């Protein structure tokens, strides 16, 4: 994954970095697969949320399913890539926010400096019989 600039949203800065491989992603049949990475998590956890979309599934870098918690949240406790499966994604302003946590204390939030660009992919039509 290529590192991209993140923006600190709170006065505190978490230890970890939030990265993405691409900014432009496609939507097919109402589903968007969005991949982000968390590095240098150390002794923290990271709570990921997505603005303007519903998380309906998530997997880590090894393909293991991650729980989607109430409030549209996914929590990771180790460095990994996360693939988020989204529905109802707004094409112009979907972004990921990652909040660092040490126990129950927030260590700050980060998000990408630009939202993901989502384009609807054409569905292949079936040939006539």
What are the residue boundaries of the structural domains of the chain, listed by start? Answer: 6-120
Q: What confidence score (pLDDT) does residue 127 get?
A: 54
What is the reported pLDDT for 18?
Answer: 94
CATH, domain range 6-120: 2.60.40
Q: What pLDDT is recorded for position 123?
A: 59
pTM above 0.95, yes or no: no
- pLDDT class of 6 with cuts at 50, 70, 90: confident
CA angle 95, 96, 99 (to 5 degrees): 140
Is pLDDT above 90 for 92? Answer: no
For 45, counting Cβ atoms within 10 Å of its Cβ (0-12 exposed, 13-18 middle, 19+ buried), the class is middle
């Amino acid at each position: 994954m290529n590192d991209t600039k993140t923006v600190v949203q709170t006065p505190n800065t978490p230890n970890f970095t939030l990265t993405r491989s691409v900014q432009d992603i496609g939507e097919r049949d109402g589903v968007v697969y969005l991949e982000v990475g968390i590095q240098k998590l150390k002794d923290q956890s990271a709570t990921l949320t997505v603005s303007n979309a519903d998380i309906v599934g998530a997997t880590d870098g090894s393909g293991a399913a991650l729980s989607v918690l109430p409030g549209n949240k996914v929590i990771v406790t180790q460095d990994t890539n996360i693939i988020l499966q989204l529905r109802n994604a707004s094409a112009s302003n979907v972004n990921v926010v990652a909040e660092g946590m040490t126990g129950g204390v927030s260590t700050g939030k980060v998000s990408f400096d630009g939202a993901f660009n989502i384009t609807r992919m054409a569905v292949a039509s079936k040939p006539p019989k």
